[in-house]
Chains A and B, each alone.
Chain A
């Protein structure tokens, strides 16, 4: 059984029961605080951000491991065009004694317009030693060589862009499908796709 939650407001979640948890963020601004208080918990946080016009997103996440033997995995992907802005601050904190914790944090952003602004602050505070924590953050534009590849195969520029952005973004959905049943992600998929078409005009 997987506990699934689409996060719509700032909240603090105390994870007390063992099991799998999945938190999904879609264009959510606010604080998401996850405090793991039991062993054998697997907590996944998946986020998709799609910004256009003058949209502005401000996301703060906290993955706090109070007890060891648990896993938390965050993946936030964003695509921004026009004058949209994205501010992300994420913290992984492993408290003293929470050995054998696994915590991952990944934030990848595609910046499609010159007037976008992206800030990424993936923080780590590690007070235990028997842990494995990584975080990564990348910000870049679409790969010109990949666009060229698609164009060479008969796609127009717009379509090529769409394919690449879709592939970039739906990695999140694919990851979710490994945990959730497909029916549950279907509606999300549709919702994101509609917006994506707007963002890419």
Chain B
């Protein structure tokens, strides 16, 4: 099997795109000049870039903080121009780019309370939509390149003044090769009640994103700018399956294509609008839906045809020998056709567990699963197990009586119900009650087999079927030797489990769902529940299904395309997982062979009495180095607020800073970081107090889990003359398991005496007393932990725009479930 399947296949979903112009990878003076030339920039900007490039060369990579040695500057493409011209309406966008945005769900976001969308696709803003009222108010909201072209005086006055190229290596790099980003100018006294938003995303491999944002808020104005990097993470850039994976948690096991267990590393969820492909194999119940790009393990029918004339209304015939020898391949769902073969692996439990169950017990459990009920008789104070049979089933009744006697050493009692033509065989036995409940559950719809039962060796499971078949089964004699065996059950789980067991016995069973409703049995009206019919034939297998040593090949009967709008899910496992029994590939975020770099610079000028809030929600894919320089200057009586949420990326180093240069200015940074797996979130804030009566506040919350590392790195500096200033810093960290790490590196430099400086930090795990409190009120541990983490970050998430806050909570809930050990 192993050599038969291509396991080295790595799939990442990425919209193929054809950039109009790309610079060669690597950076040199020539590249910088080229970028400037292509953008038709004024001379001062070209000189600025070149100067910055010289500084970039001289500066060294910071020696403190996370390890950046795997960053290769020569492998990065510094400029990609995706479309020839900027477009102003959605319809005019090139199809591929539109598709990416469709997947991200932008049109939907746009419909919602967005004032204007300026979406960044690969280094350049390709789509901008500024609402009329923004224009009326005199607000400028465009991409940085347009800003430079249209308003050169304003740009020249402010550009690079707050973050000079010499500030650090990455600021210098950005200054040399920047493209895209936003330019926002809010005139005097204008207050914008709706947030301005921009979406970012790195698409092409090894492309750096070097956007440059400049925000100028004139006197007395107010603006809230939202930079959402939500889509770039795995939530979006992959085709997903959505089949009942809601209930899967990281750490659970799913079965991969070899039929072995594979651990789920992550469950990803995203909003999706667009077509879904519904694939129905020969067993219609096993149909499943996937997004068009999701790869599925198949053999194409056209590859294994026989050279024979096609018969009327028949699919082209296949050569069984060829089919068996052919190696299945991963193919995107959208390229599948009716008649292609899906791979249905036989589930292999490498070792059958030893079971304490005797043959009698197993057979009885078979009967019980089919016909039994277990309950506690309140008046008699007795545990009862009873099985109902039709009065005609004499053999079965006798057999069950015998089994009960052998297992419990007690005589079974019979109860007749002439109205229903039924006989109940029952016994008072707590032992038997517990046995049945543990292995099979109770209530017809909820019956489910225990893993012990599922993993019985084939010889033993045969016993189970003997019992079960006598109860729920029916045999249909077909022409020749072939017999059709059918089981009917109301339990969804049971149907799937039976299919799995049968697959292990070398039998491919199909499942059909019969919808419930009113029905009549022997003249009685009953309300029939949904029934699952599990069927297989013996000795001949389903004629169209082929079997190899390790898997069945099941032809596709029908492919439907349905429109879907909602959440889709995907799992990250080692390689593949099964959806309704069939192999689909696990698709993670775009897989780039090298690490990408995001080095942005944001400069914000907050004039007298103005207020600016800058919100970032960053969820880059897990190979992006996110090294951003953000700085704001706050004039007299102004307010500057940073809300900074870091969830994605491999390494984030980001310390939004505020220079409080005007009297009574105020600044606040709310920082949230979530490090999962190998991520390093090195975040914090800088507050430089230069004027009297200034105040600043830093609230940092971090969560480290599954080996993640969060660091708070902050600087508070109160310079001489900043009298009566006050600073409050609070850092709280949660560490959820033993392998994660959290650091706090605050620095306070105080040169003034009439000041109030406070710093506090705590590091802890989730309090046992809090969990206990929840447990007492009937809330499970996992749920309580999610609630506590969400409560922990709430001071920050409540500051986010609603849809982001919801998304954030959802994301953390998903990652949280079952992660706390």
Give A residues with C-beta under 8 Å from B.
96-97, 99, 109, 111-114, 116-141
Contacts and interface: CB of A to CB of B under 8 A. Distances in A.
A124 B763 CA distance: 9
Contacts of B752: 111, 114
Contact of A126 (B733, B739, B755): B733
B761 A135 contact: yes
Contact of A141 (B733, B746, B755): B755
Interface in B113-150: none
Contacts of A99: 738
B743 A137 contact: no
A137 to B, nearest CB: 4
A125 B747 contact: no
Interface residues of B, number: 33
Contacts of B764: 131-133
Contacts of A138: 756-759
B151 interface: no
Given A120-B748, A122-B746, A139-B757, 11 more contacts: A111-B755, A114-B720, A122-B761, A124-B743, A124-B744, A129-B738, A131-B735, A133-B761, A134-B760, A137-B760, A138-B759
B749 interface: yes
B759 A141 contact: no
Contact of B747 (A109, A112, A119, A140): A119
B747 A126 contact: no
B762 A126 contact: no
20 contacts: A96-B739, A114-B752, A116-B753, A118-B749, A119-B748, A126-B735, A126-B743, A126-B763, A129-B736, A129-B737, A130-B765, A131-B765, A133-B761, A133-B762, A134-B763, A136-B758, A138-B756, A138-B758, A138-B759, A139-B748
A97 B762 CA distance: 19
B451 to A, nearest CB: 30
B761 A117 contact: no
- Count chain A CB atoms within 10 A of each CB in B754, B760, B761 and give the residue with the most: B761
B760 A136 contact: yes
Interface of B: 720, 733, 735-765
Contact of B746 (A117, A121, A132): A121
A114 B753 contact: yes
Nearest to B743: A125
Q: Top 10 nearest A-B pairs by Cβ distance?
A: A124-B744, A129-B735, A139-B757, A111-B753, A137-B759, A136-B760, A133-B763, A118-B750, A120-B748, A134-B762
B742 to A, nearest CB: 5
B753 A113 contact: yes
Nearest to B742: A126
A60 to B, nearest CB: 14
A173 to B, nearest CB: 24
Contacts of B756: 138, 140
Nearest to B753: A111
A53 to B, nearest CB: 16
Contacts of B750: 109, 111, 117-120, 139
A177 to B, nearest CB: 26
B222 to A, nearest CB: 32
B682 to A, nearest CB: 13
B742 A124 contact: yes
Contacts of A139: 748, 750, 755, 757
